[in-house]
């Protein structure tokens, strides 16, 4: 199953993912892939790190260019992406696929991937595999992702665009979790 988690920056995508991961693990399911966490300095976002969900290892992934510039970086908008961070995250996704995790999380797919760079090769591998894939993407990029990967049918597992205050309720909703595991027609 290919599932999208949608929301704009600050809508609660990461919080929802954390609760979703906890729910899967609590029910003895294996979760792999990556979760991107915001890094801050003096209460302001400076970038993101990537966490390998199988090993717990964390590596710098992207930085706002005004705070740091990576060597051999990819730059998209205000962000510089670490080549080592991209390799680390791609390897984490590939490892989760190889271990046949029940859920492979890719948090988050953005303009870099839609240009064929960043995590694109790992994303393509995940989509072509038989594992359940949960892709986190900005709501504004949903159409671009669906168009780019038109050969796949995506279910929207959660859309936090309209009501980010419902993050806790959605993450705790057992029928939503079942929907991602079993039937795309079930809902909360």
Residue 135 belongs to a domain: yes
> Regarding beta strands 31-41 and 44-52, do their DSSP bridges make them parallel or antiparallel, or are they unpaired?
antiparallel
Residue 19 structural domain = 2-36+86-181
Query: What CATH code is carried by the domain that includes residue 135?
Result: 3.40.50.300
Please tell me the total count of domains within the chain. 1
164: Cβ–Cβ under 8 A, 6 or more apart, which residues?
Answer: 7, 10, 11, 12
Helix (H) / strand (E) element for 134: namely strand 132-137
Residue 41 belongs to a domain: no
- Per residue of the chain (188 residues), give pLDDT as tens: 999 999 998 899 999 999 999 999 999 889 999 999 999 888 888 899 999 999 999 999 998 877 665 554 677 878 889 999 999 999 999 999 999 999 999 999 999 999 999 999 999 999 999 999 999 999 999 999 999 999 999 999 999 986 544 444 444 433 333 334 432 323 22
Euclidean distance between CA atoms 171 and 188, whole angstroms: 10
Residue 70 belongs to a domain: no
Residue 107 belongs to a domain: yes
Q: Which region holds residue 41: left if phi is over 0, alpha if psi is between -120 and 50, else beta?
A: beta
Residue 168 belongs to a domain: yes
pLDDT in tens, 112-161: 999 999 999 999 999 999 999 999 999 999 999 999 999 999 999 999 98
Q: Give the DSSP per-residue string, 4-53.
A: EEE--TTSSHHHHHHHHHHHHHHTT--EEEEEEEEEEETTEEEEEEEEET
Residue 72 belongs to a domain: no
Residue 130 belongs to a domain: yes
Residue 57 belongs to a domain: no
98-to-92, 113, 126, 153 alpha-carbon distances in Å: 10, 21, 10, 22
Given strand 2-6, what is the order of strands in its sheet? 74-76, 79-81, 58-64, 44-52, 31-41, 103-109, 132-137, 2-6, 154-159
Q: What is the dihedral of CA 180, 186, 187, 188, to 10 degrees?
A: -100
């Amino acid at each position: 199953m290919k599932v999208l988690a949608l929301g704009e920056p600050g809508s609660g995508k990461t919080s929802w993912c954390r609760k979703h991961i906890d729910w899967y693990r609590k029910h003895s399911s294996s979760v792999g892939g990556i979760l991107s966490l915001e890094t801050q300095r003096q209460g302001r976002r400076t970038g993101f790190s990537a966490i390998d969900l199988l090993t717990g290892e964390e590596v710098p992934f992207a930085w706002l260019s005004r705070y740091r510039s990576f060597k051999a970086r990819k730059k998209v908008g205000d962000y510089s992406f670490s080549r080592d961070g991209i390799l680390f995250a791609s390897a984490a996704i590939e490892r989760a696929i190889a271990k046949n995790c029940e859920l492979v999380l890719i948090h988050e797919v953005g303009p870099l991937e839609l240009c064929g760079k960043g995590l694109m090769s790992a994303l393509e591998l995940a989509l072509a595999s038989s594992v359940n894939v949960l892709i986190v993407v900005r709501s504004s990029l949903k159409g671009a992702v669906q168009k780019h990967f038109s050969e796949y049918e995506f279910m929207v597992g959660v859309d936090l665009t309209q009501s980010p205050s419902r993050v806790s309720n959605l993450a705790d909703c057992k029928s939503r979790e079942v929907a991602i595991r079993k039937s795309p027609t079930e809902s909360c």
